[in-house]
């Protein structure tokens, strides 16, 4: 079972960005923790981050072509307005789980909207790094309950 972990715009700056929302961990710390959990759960993980919207779309197209089993995505600010990423995700047939470090619903109103919400299995937000670890468990669970 292979899961793709996608991180979008500005998320390479975790560790340097507003610690009250995003804590101190870097993206590479988070990916390391995810890898440890993936080993425990016996799943293969691929992690990808980009600040370029089209590159994220192309990675999703590639995931479709290689029949990926599940996708976890924190698209950062793109979550709130990128119909291009939403349409790319909608091509996939596998479970998709949306992740946010911060509780987006307790922040500015533009963050309350996710253009992905109707095509994801669910959203996990507000638990910091733990959002990613819960997200991986949720993705694996969704794949296993489908098969
Ligand atoms: C975020 C929340 C988004 O609103 C914001 O634009 C981000 C990070 C999060 O992980 O909490 O860049 O996705």
On average, the pLDDT of the chain sits at 97
% pLDDT > 70, the chain: 99
Tokens for 54, please give them.
């089209």
Of residues 128, 65, 139, the one with CA closest to residue 100: 128
In a domain, 21, yes or no: yes
Residue 100 is among the residues annotated as catalytic for this protein:
yes
Closest CA to 1 of 71, 91, 88: 71
- Decide if 114 is inside a domain: no
**Residue 14: is its pLDDT beyond 90?**
yes
Active-site annotation holder among 22, 61, 81, 112: 22
Query: Does 81 fall in a domain?
Result: yes
pLDDT for the residue 129: 98
Tokens in use for 120?
A: 């994801």
Condensed to tens digits (0 to 9), the pLDDT of residues 51-64 reads 999 999 999 999 99
Distance from the alpha carbon of residue 22 to the mean position of ligand 1, in angstroms = 8
12 part of a folded domain? yes
User: Per the confidence metrics, is the pTM higher than 0.75?
Assistant: yes
How far, in Å, CA of 32 to CA of 10, rounded?
A: 19
CATH number at residue 66: 3.40.50.9100
Summarize the confidence of residues 121-126 as an average pLDDT: 98
- What is the layout of strands, in order, in the sheet containing 70-74? 44-49, 2-7, 70-74, 96-100, 122-125
Confidence of residue 147 (pLDDT cuts 50, 70, 90): low
Range of the domain at 16: 2-102+122-146
Is 116 part of a structural domain of the chain?
A: no
Instruction: Give the confidence band of 97 by pLDDT, cuts at 50, 70, 90.
Output: very high
The answer to whether residue 117 is domain-embedded is: no
Tell me if 54 is assigned to some domain.
yes
- Does residue 112 have an active-site annotation? no
As for how many domains the chain has, the answer is: 1
Instruction: Centre a 10 Å sphere on the Cβ of residue 104 and count the other Cβ atoms it contains.
Output: 20
Mutate to test the pocket of ligand 1, among 79, 82, 113, 129 (most ligand atoms within 8 A of CB): 79
Ramachandran assignment for 68, one of left (phi > 0), alpha (psi -120 to 50 degrees), beta (any other): beta
Q: Is residue 36 part of a domain?
A: yes
Q: Is 74 in the pocket of ligand 1 (CB under 6 A)?
A: yes
CA distance 128 to 56: 22
**96 Cβ inside 6 Å of ligand 1:** no
């Amino acid at each position: 079972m292979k899961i793709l972990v996608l991180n979008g715009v500005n998320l390479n700056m975790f560790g340097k960005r507003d610690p009250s929302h995003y804590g101190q961990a870097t993206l590479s710390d988070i990916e390391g923790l995810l890898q440890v959990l993936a080993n425990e759960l016996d799943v293969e993980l691929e992690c990808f981050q980009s600040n370029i919207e089209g590159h994220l779309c192309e990675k999703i197209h590639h995931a479709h072509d290689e029949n990926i089993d599940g996708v976890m995505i924190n698209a950062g600010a793109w979550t709130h307005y990128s119909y291009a990423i939403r349409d790319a995700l909608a091509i996939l047939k596998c479970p998709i789980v949306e992740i946010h470090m911060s509780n987006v619903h307790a922040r500015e109103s533009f963050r309350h909207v996710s253009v992905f919400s109707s095509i994801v299995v669910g959203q996990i937000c507000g638990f910091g790094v733990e959002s990613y670890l819960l997200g991986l468990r949720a993705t694996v669970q969704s794949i296993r309950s489908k098969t």
